[in-house]
Structure 1
């Protein structure tokens, strides 16, 4: 086990740690994400290692909190797990150049017919860092309003079955801790909101906070170049 020294216990955090990239091959090209195979070394003179993973555009999600301390959950069918899950509004970052919080507002309008006047960053996640580059930013949205009827998005496929439900935050916390809901974005957001509520959400980051962990913000790693960690 490697013990890391020199990190204050109050300020420690994940760090970008680029390694020497020897090559990248696209194994599968999908509609939304690709599977790539990359060869790299952990050190300058280290052995070659190959890893396959999903190259994902990333996503944003929204925990909506109303003035009655209720959060908005949506029920949607997810085919890979063959279950209808209680989730929070979310969507892919698949529109080039779109600001992260603007994408979150778009998804909130499309999936829940809602707008929000106050936005904060609630939590940032890598959903499965051992197998996917997917980065997720979850926002807390308050100051809720309705999208005008004439401007509402027409939902299709699985989204056409979406059901909306307002749930007391404490009830949602219990559901997460008791294993009754399983969406990672919903569970993380609900528990984070429960903690943040303790001081009136004063410690949350502004919605415009940079997100350097998202793959689009990484520097390009030249093939064969030695990059310092």
Structure 2
């Protein structure tokens, strides 16, 4: 039987086992592998997977109810996007909340006294294991940081907008970054009492680990 032939539906009972895996590419912040998967009906399907180190993003809300956004160039889309401060989980052993603290300071020169978890966002689970943990940061304070050099961050524009305006930008299609959109909507739900944020060390079952293991094997 081939993957294109009709098969009987298994209604959630099938176990998708990985039968084999082939490394196709390793880059600076991602790797590409191809897995052979046992599909329903005895079919073997090949799925390409982009391995990612994972990331954090921060919804930083000041005392006036404004959220800190950055305008940053994103080459795959060929334009600047409105996003939350964010960064890769690229330091071995660093807890995600500490990565968030570091990125908030490095990108927008802020620290926060109060931290919690808003959401975990699978960026595009059809082809990548990238998941972003979005934090809520409040009670903000300015800090001194070194200016970024030689990359997109040297061109950042930092702007504060009322949270309701940022949510409007999501619905209007002016904010399209997945973790930013999710984080803003989640923050609105938490701050209006519709939901509760989680502790900073809340379980994260979908955190990407393959890239970290691959990198550790190279070092």
Per the TM superposition, whether the score is higher than 0.5 is yes
Describe the SS at the equivalent of 2:192: helix
TM-score (norm 1): 0.82
TM value normalised by structure 2: 0.85
Q: Can you give the 5+ residue segments of structure 2 that lack an aligned partner in the other structure?
A: 1-8, 214-219
- 1:112 maps to which residue? 108
Match of 1:28 among 25, 30, 38: 25
**Residue 198 in structure 1 maps to residue 192 in structure 2:** yes
CA distance in 1, matches of 2:105, 2:133: 17
Task: Decide which of 33, 38, 50 is 2:35's aligned counterpart.
Answer: 38
Superposition CA RMSD, Å: 2.3
Count of residue pairs the alignment pairs up: 202
Partner of 2:163: 169
1:85 equivalenced with 2:77 (yes/no) = no
Structure 1 pair 108/42, CA: closer, same or farther in 2 (3 Å)? same
Q: Does the 8 Å CA contact 2:121/2:178 hold for their aligned counterparts? A: no
In structure 2, relative to structure 1, the CA distance for the partners of 1:46 and 1:153 (3 Å cut) is: farther
Question: Quick one: distance in 2 between partners of 1:161 and 1:35?
Answer: 29
Q: CA deviation at 1:2?
A: 7.0
Deviations 1:62-90 (A, max 9, x none): 01011111100001111110111110010
- For 1:46 and 1:143, the matched residues in 2 are separated by 56
Q: Within 5 A, what are the aligned runs for 1:67-216?
A: 67-147=63-143, 149=144, 152-156=145-149, 157-199=151-193, 203-216=196-209
Deviation at 1:41, TM superposition (A): 1.1
Cα shift at 1:154: 2.9
- 1:144 is paired with a residue whose SS is strand
> Residue deviations 1:188-228, cap 9 Å, x none?
111111122221x86111111121111229xx9xxxxxxxx
1:184 Cα deviation (Å)? 1.3
Runs of 4+ residues over 4 Å off in structure 1: 1-4
